[in-house]
Each structure stands twice: as structure tokens, then as C-alpha cells.
Amino acid sequence: MSDATLTALPKTEQPHPGAPDNWKRFFTFSTDHKVIGIQYIVTAFFFFLIGGLLAMVMRGELITPAADLVDRTVYNGLFTMHGTIMLFMWTFPFLNGLANYLVPLMIGARDMAFPKLNAVAFWMVPVFGVILMASFLVPGGPSQSGWWAYPPVSLQNPTGNLINGQLLWLVAVALSGISSILGAVNIVTTIVRMRALGLGWFRMPVFVWAVMSAQIIQLFGLPALTAGAVMLLFDLAVGTSFFNPAGGGDPVLYQHFFWFYSHPAVYVIILPIFGVFSEVFPVHARKPLFGYPFVAVSSLVITGLSGVVWVHHMFASGTPDWMRMLFMFSTMLISVPTGVKVFAWVATVWGGKIQLTTPMLFALGGLVMFLFAGVTGIMLASAPFDIHVNNTYFVVGHFHYVIYGAAVMGAYAAIYHWFPKMTGHMYYEGLGKLHFALTFIGANLNFFPMHPLGLQGMPRRVASYDPEFAFWNVIASIGGFILGLSTLPFILNILSSWVQGKKAPNNPWRAIGLEWLVSSPPPHENFAEIPVVVSGPYGYGSNEPLVELAESKAAE
């Protein structure tokens, strides 16, 4: 290895005081990446439940054609807050937590590059969470302009108060942007500078590649959203007219700022989940990841392409035809590196010794739903079709297949897979399988009907609808409630096994990877001695001695 790796040697910092197995640590300003990781994950799930409750109210409303449960304005507030909470308070914090917990372990580092900055970035999450939640209490209620907050709708301020739901929303989103940028600086620096000796780029687990690619998007995309949010904030609060057509401003410019980030944001969500799939499949199918270097590099390719597709969200905003063609093409191009990954997973699982553990079930279920989302995604990428179904339930169905089917299921796969490592306890397999069954059935019942509804022309963001749409809506609502219910066995499982579950071995899945070399849960300094990496990450089946080596190491 070159001098570059030598300089990349992790700095030997003093271990952090206080043990992470003492629960009180989780409520303090800790700089241990493992504590921060779990702080992020638990906070994210707290908001996941709130976002889910709002979704239950929406599905309750939609079970009948009339707007009888909540009125129109409340419904607007519900879907806005549901979308915002799910994206800014659930997915990003969850994925940051996972990256925080796993990346230093996977690359053989003692901590992140900037532990204090890490803690600061985390503690901003509850702060903007509270700001966002406060908007339920201010006069006029929460923002009603949807999670994308397009002006001029988002510039309306019927109550006339300076402190209103939209203002709080913008402050929260801008803060969330800053927190995520700080997190991204930290994660990218850690991956580039702190890898253990011998851990060349092509010995890095795909999860690390994927996280790095996703965080690069955060670095270059988020500033645009933050800039847009700040300008909108000024428009709303002090009367500038950046995006206010009445004052000569340009509302479409806001859409560009917004989507320049928010389309790539989809990859910020999905890339780490692809990373999870790439870790879970090989272990639970006992086969090396098929085409590892291609899977690894395809993440970066997706990152690159994701920066040039945003206009596909604006096909219906009076975009010139040549632009439509260009962005339609670039959008379709993304399906190539994505297809590489999907192909690799299928080839990995194919003919493997599949163990249907809970993480494997969730990963398989997530893959199936992602494939379905991919098909509808390609349909939507074609401008003529998009103009037809734009703003119908077809779109809602598509993105929930991505975001619930792939991302939430992948997140569950990750939790079950690394739960023994994080807590030192095994989860209950039976409850895990029940959780999976309810989730898979509920998600498909909930989100599949949205496609026929969209094709029939049911618009999105409506509290009431034409009775002809009733049939599929009832089914969707039943699915939604099953989905709501599915979180109960999950919470029960996590809490009870965390407290009294069977003691987990250091390497319960017989997996390869630095994180499995340390005890469960890992000690403070992660590695008593920084490991020297001598081989690639996926030697399953073909190279079982490696697994045994890992096991004997872990047993030491």
C-alpha cells in the first residue's frame, strides 16, 4: 500500500469515557459514534411512529369518499407533515445513524473523523424536530403546502402572524440541511482518511461505498435546497420577492433549487439501502457478492447521474421540449447502474444456501417491491406518460413502493441484521417473522391499489373523492392499518430482546467484515488493536476458511 494509506492510519484517540451499555449514555452529549448512531436511530423511529400515525388518520379519512373525518385544511396539514416527517425526520436521521454506527467499525477506525461535530449534528435533529412539531400548535396550524413547499402556495399566510406553520417548516428544513451537511462532511472525511491499513477501495464493503456516494450527494445537493429554503423564508417573513411572482420573482426557480436536491435525495435514501442489501444477501445466502467491483462503483455512477435528472419533476411546469428530452434520457440512464445492482443481487441469491432469517426476509421482500417500483419508475420517466399521470395516485403508489417497499423494508433488514451487534442480544425470530408478514402484506395492500386509482384518474392530495374510486381506496386503507399494526410486534421485539433477549455471539451470522471481529456490543475503542486488512469483503462459500478465521478472531 502507498503512503496515502499510511497517512490514512486512524488517529489513536483516547477511548471515550462512559460505557455505551449504560442506558443513561444515550441521553447525554456523547462523542462515541456508536452511541450517536443509536441516538439517531431511536430518534428517527420516534418520528417514524408520529409520521405513521398521521398516515393512519389520512387512510382513515380516505376509507370513505366524503371528507368526514377531518376537513380539507387539516388534511392538507396532515399530508404535508407526514411527508416532511417521514423524509426529514425519519429517513435521513435513520440512515445517518446506521452510517454512524457501522462505518467506523467496517473500516477499522476508532471513531468518526470529527466526533464532536458528529454529536452537534445529531443534537440538531431533536431541535428541529421540536420546531417542526410546534407548528401543530401555532395559530393556523402546520404548513399545508406539501413537502415541496412550492410558492406561491407556500407564501400565503392567512393568519398574518410572523410565527406560522410555514415559517417553522422552513426553519426546520434549513436546520436539517445544515445538520446533514455537517454529517456528510464527517462521514466522507472518515471514509477517505480513516481506513485501516490494507483496506484499499476495492476491499471496502459495498455498504461503505454506498454511504459515501450518498453523502456526496448531500454535500453538493443540499446546499441548493438550503439556499432555496432561506430565500423562501425571507419571502415569507420579511417580504422579499425572490419567488413571489407579484414582486417580479420567479417561482419556477424555486422548483429548480428544490428538485436539484430532492431528486438526488431519493438516492441519498436508496443508496445506503442498496448497501444494506449488498451486505445481507451474501451472508444469508452464503455466496460472495456477484460482481463486487461493479456493484461498488455503480453507486458512484448513480451519484454522478443523479445530479442531472432533476427536471423530470418539472415536465409539467412548462419545460421546453429539448430539456424534457434531455432529462428524460438522463433519467432513464440511471436505470443502468441500478440494473447492475439488481442483477448482482439476484445472481448472488440464485442457487445460494438461503437462510430465511428475518433480515433476509425483509431484504428479499424489499427487493421484490423495489423491482415493482422500478417498472413504474421507468414508466414515469417517459415524459408523455408522466404528463398524463402527473399528480395522480399513480405517482403516490410509485414512490411509496420505493420509499416503503425498498427503503423501510431495507431499514428493517439492517436493524435485524446488526441488532445482535448493536445490543449484544438476539431478537426473537418468531416475532421478527410476524413483523415481516404483516409489513409485506400491509404494504402491498396499501400501495398497490394506488396504481389502478391513478390510472383511473384519482388526483393526489384530496380528502374526498368520487365514489367510483371507493373500492381500491377501502383496500388501501385496510392495508394501511395492517401496516400500522405491523409496528407493534417490531417494537415489542426490539424492546424485550434488548432488555432480556438471549446473549448474542460476536458473529451470529458467520459473516466476514471488520464489524464482526469485535465483541457484541463493541467496546469503546472498537478495536484494541487496529486491524490490518488482507482480503476482500465477500469470501462466502468459496472461501469459508475466512469465515472461520473471522469466527476464531471474534471468539478471542
Partner 1 sequence: MFGFVVFLLSETVIFLSFFVGYIVFKTSATDWLPPGVEGLEVRSPAIATAILVSSSFVITIAERYLHRENLWGFRSFWLLTMVMGSTFLYAQAMEWLSLPFGFTAGTFGGTFYLLTGFHGLHVLAGIVMQGVMLGRSFIPNNYAGGEHGVASTSLFWHFVDVIWIVLFALIYLWQ
Whichever of 433 and 460 has its CB closer to Cu ion, that residue is 460
Q: How far is the CB of 130 from ligand HEM (least distance, A)?
A: 20
Among 95, 113, 283, 369, binds partner 1 (CB under 8 A): 113
Identify residues 236-265 at the interface with partner 1 (CB under 8 A): 238-242, 247-250, 253, 257
Q: Which is nearer to partner 1, 231 or 271 (CB)?
A: 231
Closest residue to Cu ion: CB criterion: 263
- Binding mask 327-366 toward partner 1 (x if CB under 8 A, else -) reads ----------------------------------------
How far is the CA of 366 from the CAs of 94, 128, 311, 369, 493, in angstroms? 17, 30, 28, 5, 20
Give me the residues paired with residue 503 across strands: 425
Per-residue interface string for the shown chain with ligand HEM, residues 437-466, x marking contact by CB under 6 A: ---------x-------------xx-----
Q: Which is nearer to ligand HEM, 383 or 408 (CB)?
A: 408
Q: Which string of x and - marks every residue 73-112 that binds partner 1 (by CB under 8 A)?
A: ----------------------------------------
Contact in structure between 257 and 224 (CB atoms under 8 Å) = yes
| d(C-alpha 364, C-alpha 351), whole Å | 14
Residue 84's closest CA among 262, 295, 340, 247? 262
- Cα(177)–Cα(220) distance, rounded to whole angstroms? 11
Out of partner 1, Cu ion, ligand HEM, none, what residue 380 binds, judged by CB under 5 to 8 A for its kind, is none
For partner 1, how many residues bind (rule: CB under 8 A)?
32
CA 84 to each of CA 59, 71, 87, 166: distance values in angstroms, whole numbers, following the listed order: 17, 20, 5, 12
Examine residue 201 and tell whether it contacts partner 1 (CB under 8 A).
Answer: no
60 belongs to the binding site for ligand HEM (CB under 6 A): no
Q: Per CB under 8 A, which of residues 269..328 are in contact with partner 1?
A: none
Contact between 409 and 446 (Cβ < 8 Å):
no
Distance separating alpha carbons of residues 86 and 82, to the nearest angstrom: 6
User: Is residue 263 a contact residue for Cu ion (CB under 5 A)?
Assistant: yes
| Torsion angle of the four alpha carbons 276, 281, 286, 288, in this order, in degrees rounded to the nearest 10 | -80
Give the distance, in angstroms, between the CA of residue 511 and the centroid of all CA atoms in the same chain: 24
Using the rule CB under 8 A, is 234 a contact of partner 1? yes
CA separation for the pair 502, 552 (Å, rounded): 21
Choose among 529, 539, 536, 541: nearest CA to 553: 529
Comparing CA positions, the residue from 439, 425, 302 lying closest to residue 358 is 439
State the minimum distance, in angstroms, from the CB of residue 91 to ligand HEM: 5
Residues 79-108 binding ligand HEM (CB under 6 A) are 79-80, 82-83, 86-87, 90-91
One residue of 106, 396, 453, 533 binding ligand HEM per CB under 6 A: 396
Closer Cβ to Cu ion, 207 or 393, answer by number: 393
Q: If binding is defined by CB under 6 A, does position 147 make contact with ligand HEM?
A: yes
The residues, ordered by sequence, that sit 6+ positions from 227 with a Cβ below 8 Å of its Cβ are: 257
Q: Which three cell numbers stand for residue 307?
A: 445530479
Residue 300: DSSP 8-state? H
Tell me the residue type at 477: S
Measure CA 56 to chain center.
21
Interacting span for ligand HEM (CB under 6 A) from 74-82, 184-192, 279-287, 520-528: 74-82
> Of 124 and 354, which CB lies nearer to partner 1 in the complex structure?
124
- The C-alpha atoms of residue 479 and residue 497 are separated, in whole angstroms, by 28
Residue 313 within binding range of ligand HEM, rule CB under 6 A: no
Q: Are 226 and 174 in contact (CB under 8 A)?
A: yes
Residue 246 CB neighbour total at 10 angstroms: 8
Write the DSSP assignment of 344-411 as a string of letters.
HHHHHHTTS-----HHHHHHHHHHHHHHHHHHHHHHHHSHHHHHHHTTBHHHHHHHHIIIIIIIIHHH
The CB-of-263 to Cu ion minimum distance in angstroms stands at: 3
- Asked if 227 touches partner 1 (CB under 8 A), the answer is yes
From the list partner 1, Cu ion, ligand HEM, none, which binds 263 (C-beta under 5 to 8 Å, kind-based)?
Cu ion
Binding partner of residue 228 among partner 1, ligand HEM, Cu ion, none, CB under 5 to 8 Å per kind?
Answer: partner 1
Residue among 19, 53, 70, 193 that touches partner 1 (CB under 8 A) = 193
Binding interface with ligand HEM (CB under 6 A): 52, 55, 58-59, 79-80, 82-83, 86-87, 90-91, 146-147, 396, 400, 403-404, 408, 446, 460-461, 480, 483-484
Binding interface with partner 1 (CB under 8 A): 113-114, 181, 184-186, 188-189, 192-193, 219-224, 226-228, 231, 234, 238-242, 247-250, 253, 257
Binding interface with Cu ion (CB under 5 A): 263
